[in-house]
Structure formats: structure tokens, C-alpha cells
């Protein structure tokens, strides 16, 4: 079992790396880190000496004072190097740098100079070092106006704002989960590449991305339809967009019910992609679910009975409660990386229809047990 510490574990990439490693409890033990450790040599030394692998992600990405970005990022690296030297560490050190290394800006210069400082430490100490040069990263829970233009656009569009394109450039992108998978492979392989370019997995112009996000807004958020997703990139972008919506304000969504003297008719879902539709009954007091997905798109539709649907983002404590009643049929969609369940809170049998975009595969279930 490898003991892994992540600086910046509360950041965008750090969150996803931490939560993904948490799924592999037999392979990894996570050494907790707090940003304050950088200001306390004793705590920083204790952290460093406890780790077999250190993934250094803590950095300042944006600030009005460009020189402060450089000073902050280099200072963090120097403090980490000093702790490595004091503890005579032989840990496998991994740092995230950026393709902005080649640009004439303080952020890119700070990432390159920081990578070279850690590379020199590894050469002198005999430690292993992986210096990742990473393209633009996108995915759920990035910070708007900070991590990426996609995060900013998702935030603006989902909140009814109108984004502006400053430069309609061609973006070379990698989804955050794909980057995490690469990092985990490098840990397993004891990589020692001091300069390793991570390949991008998608490429699109800023305007193309904006058009897709506006389409998601109109089809999904405004009309409740699962949009047409033509490829893997579009599905990842759609899952990203969904995580920027205010789910507490959006769900539950009531269906349009057509009634006449024969009874009632409700359309459960219009979807532009294949999927699996299931039907279940749940006895009073019984709870289903208590798991989460990292890629699947899923809808719970209550058609008879009373239900409580609960959602909680992994790594957080806030629980979103949604009360549904079959007398007014409604649905709740499950964002990725949210633990979710459904409980029959009525006195009669609960009838629920589930739609999910891919059939269950025991060899690749993408279903992780987690109590909400």
C-alpha cells in the first residue's frame, strides 16, 4: 500500500485525485494535508516523512498581481524542497505544471521554474520525480473565473448570464478524470520522467464549446431533455455542465401530466442518447441507492407514492433533500460525484421509474457505495 499525500487536495484537480484514490482503499492510504503546513516546518516535515508519494498541486493560478503568482508558487516549491531535504525523503514526487510554461507570463514561468527546482532536488537526492506538463483541464467543480474558461461558461450559462469570448482560440483539453487516471498510472509505474507532456484528449474552439453549453442549457435545463451527445467529449462536457446548476433550486422537476376521463399520461424522458429504463417498487420505510457514479447520467421519476430523494456531493457534508409525490409526478437527476438515494416515506408502495444512459455492467459498474 502506497502512502500518498496531495498538496492542494481542496483544489480542482486535487479534489478529484483525492476522491478517486479514496476508492482504492487496498492500494492507497491518503496522508492528510492542510495548506497551513507550508507555514509550519514541523507539520510540513511530518507530512513529507509520512508519504511514499507526494503530488504537489497547491498553487496560485490567478491574481491581479502577476508577480505575486510567481512569488507564491516558487515559495511553496522551495518550502517543499526544504522539507524533503530536512527529512532525507526519497518519496516519489509528482508536480503538475502547465503547457503555459512556453508562454511569457508569470504563471507559466512559476510552473516551469518550480518544476526545475524539484527536478534538481530529485537528481541530487536520488528521489523519483515526475514533472507533468498538462494541457487545459476541465470537469466538474472547477472554479469559475479561475480554473478554466469552461468552468466560467458553465457557471454563467447555468445562471442565465451571457458569456463573452475574448479570443476564439483552439483549446487542447483533458477531462479531469482522465488526468487523474494518468497520475495513478504514473504512481503505479514509479515514473521518473522529469519532463512529461500529458497528451490532450479533445480539441475544440472556444465558440464551439460555448455553442454546446448553450445547447445544454436549452435542451436540458430549460426543457428537461437529455441532449444529443455525439461523442465522449460531449458527454464529459454535459456532465461538467450539470454540476454547475443549482440543484436545490432546480429539482424536483414536475412532469407535464395529461389527464382525461380515461386517466393520466406522463412523458418520463426525452433523450438524444441510448439508455436503459427500469421500473421498481419500494416498500414503506425502505431506502434504495446510497451510491454514486463518476460518469453515468441518471434520472429518478416518482409516479406513485411519496419519496425522499437525497443527494450529497462526495467529500462534503451538505445533503440536498427532495420530496416527491406521485400525485404530482416529478423527477430528480443525479449529478456525477453525488451520493444519492431514494426512500419510501409514505404508507403505500412507492413506484419509481429509473432511466440511465448505460446498462449496468458488472465488469465496469461505475457504481460506488456511499451513504448519503
- Average pLDDT estimate for 217-227: 96
User: How far apart are alpha carbons 331 and 163 in whole angstroms?
Assistant: 29
Q: In this structure, which topology does domain 2-141+172-200 adopt according to CATH?
A: Rossmann fold (3.40.50)
- In whole angstroms, what is the distance from residue 324 CA to residue 121 CA? 58
Tell me the three state secondary structure of residue 124.
helix
- 3-state DSSP call for residue 133? strand
CA distance 247 to 266: 22
- Please identify, in words, the CATH class of the domain defined by 247-369: mainly beta
pLDDT-derived band at 66 (thresholds 50, 70, 90) equals confident
Q: What is the pTM of this model?
A: 0.94
Residue 104 has pLDDT above 80, yes or no: no
User: pLDDT tens across 333-360, in order?
Assistant: 999 999 999 999 999 999 999 999 998 8
Beta strands in 14-135 (DSSP E): 28-31, 53-56, 92-98, 129-134
Give the pLDDT band (50/70/90) at residue 106: confident
Strand 338-344 with 306-313, pairing: antiparallel
**What is residue 97's three-state secondary structure?**
strand
C-alpha span between 289 and 334 (Å, rounded): 11
DSSP state of 226: B
Cα dihedral 53/57/58/60 (nearest 10): 160
- Residue 102, pLDDT above cutoff 90: no
- For 42, residues 6+ apart whose C-beta sits below 8 A from its C-beta are none
Enumerate the domain spans of the chain: 2-141+172-200, 247-369
pLDDT confidence tier of residue 258, bands split at 50, 70 and 90: confident
Instruction: Sort strands 92-98 and 129-134 into parallel, antiparallel or unpaired.
Output: parallel
CA 48 centroid distance within chain? 26
Which residue's C-alpha cell is 419509481?
352
Residue 109's φ and ψ, nearest 5 degrees, are: -65, -40
Give the ranges where 22-65 is alpha helix by DSSP (H): 41-49
At 63 the pLDDT is 82
Structure confidence by residue, pLDDT tens digits, 142-199 = 999 999 999 999 999 999 999 999 999 999 999 999 999 999 999 999 999 999 999 9
333/336 Cα distance (integer angstroms): 10
Q: What is the mean pLDDT of residues 69-90?
A: 95
Distance CA 122, CA 127 (A): 5
- Model confidence pLDDT, tens digit, residues 280-316: 999 999 999 999 999 999 999 999 999 999 999 999 9
pLDDT in tens, 201-214: 999 999 999 999 99
- Supply the mean pLDDT for the chain: 95
Instruction: Name the pLDDT band for 262 (thresholds 50, 70, 90).
Output: confident
Nearest alpha carbon to residue 87 among 119, 129, 43: 43
The 3-state DSSP class for residue 250 equals helix
Provide the phi-psi class of 138: left if phi over 0, else alpha when psi is between -120 and 50, else beta: beta
Contact 370, 292 (CB under 8 A): yes
Same fold, 2-141+172-200 and 247-369: no
At residue 267, the pLDDT reads 86
Q: Grid coordinates representing 290?
A: 446510497
Confidence of residue 122 (pLDDT cuts 50, 70, 90): very high
- Angle, alpha carbons 32-175-273 (nearest 5°): 125
Amino acid at each position: 500500500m502506497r502512502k500518498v499525500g496531495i498538496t492542494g487536495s481542496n483544489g480542482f484537480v486535487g479534489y478529484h485525485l483525492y476522491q478517486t484514490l479514496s476508492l482504492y482503499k487496498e492500494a492507497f492510504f491518503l496522508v492528510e494535508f492542510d495548506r497551513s503546513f507550508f507555514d509550519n516546518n514541523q507539520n510540513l516535515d511530518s507530512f513529507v516523512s509520512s508519504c511514499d508519494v507526494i503530488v504537489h498541486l497547491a498553487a496560485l493560478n490567478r491574481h491581479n498581481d502577476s508577480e505575486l503568482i510567481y512569488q507564491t508558487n516558487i515559495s511553496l516549491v522551495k518550502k517543499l524542497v526544504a522539507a524533503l531535504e530536512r527529512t532525507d525523503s526519497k518519496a516519489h514526487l509528482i508536480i503538475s505544471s502547465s503547457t503555459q510554461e512556453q508562454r511569457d507570463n508569470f504563471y507559466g514561468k512559476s510552473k516551469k521554474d518550480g518544476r526545475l527546482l524539484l527536478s534538481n532536488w530529485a537528481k541530487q537526492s536520488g528521489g523519483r520525480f515526475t514533472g507533468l506538463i498538462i494541457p487545459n483541464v476541465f470537469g466538474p467543480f472547477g472554479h469559475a473565473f479561475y480554473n478554466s474558461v469552461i468552468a466560467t461558461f458553465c457557471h454563467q450559462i447555468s445562471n442565465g448570464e451571457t458569456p463573452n469570448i475574448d479570443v476564439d482560440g483552439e483549446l487542447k483539453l483533458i477531462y479531469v478524470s482522465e488526468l487523474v487516471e494518468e497520475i495513478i498510472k504514473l504512481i503505479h509505474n514509479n515514473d521518473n520522467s522529469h519532463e512529461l507532456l500529458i497528451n490532450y484528449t479533445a480539441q475544440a474552439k472556444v465558440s464551439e464549446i460555448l455553442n454546446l453549453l448553450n445547447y445544454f442549457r436549452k435542451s436540458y435545463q430549460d426543457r428537461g431533455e437529455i441532449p444529443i451527445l455525439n461523442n465522449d467529449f460531449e458527454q464529459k462536457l454535459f456532465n461538467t455542465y450539470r454540476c454547475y446548476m443549482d440543484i436545490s433550486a432546480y429539482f424536483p422537476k414536475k412532469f407535464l401530466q395529461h389527464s382525461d376521463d380515461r386517466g393520466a399520461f406522463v412523458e418520463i424522458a426525452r433523450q438524444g442518447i441510448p439508455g436503459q429504463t427500469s421500473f421498481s417498487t419500494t416498500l414503506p420505510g425502505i431506502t434504495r441507492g446510497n451510491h454514486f457514479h463518476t460518469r453515468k447520467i441518471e434520472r429518478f421519476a416518482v409516479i406513485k407514492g411519496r419519496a425522499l430523494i437525497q443527494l450529497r456531493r462526495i467529500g462534503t457534508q451538505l445533503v440536498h433533500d427532495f420530496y416527491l409525490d406521485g400525485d404530482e409526478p416529478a423527477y430528480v437527476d443525479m449529478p456525477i460525484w453525488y451520493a444519492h438515494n431514494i426512500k419510501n416515506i409514505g404508507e403505500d408502495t412507492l413506484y419509481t421509474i429509473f432511466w440511465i444512459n448505460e446498462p449496468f455492467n458488472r465488469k465496469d459498474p461505475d457504481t460506488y457505495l456511499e451513504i448519503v
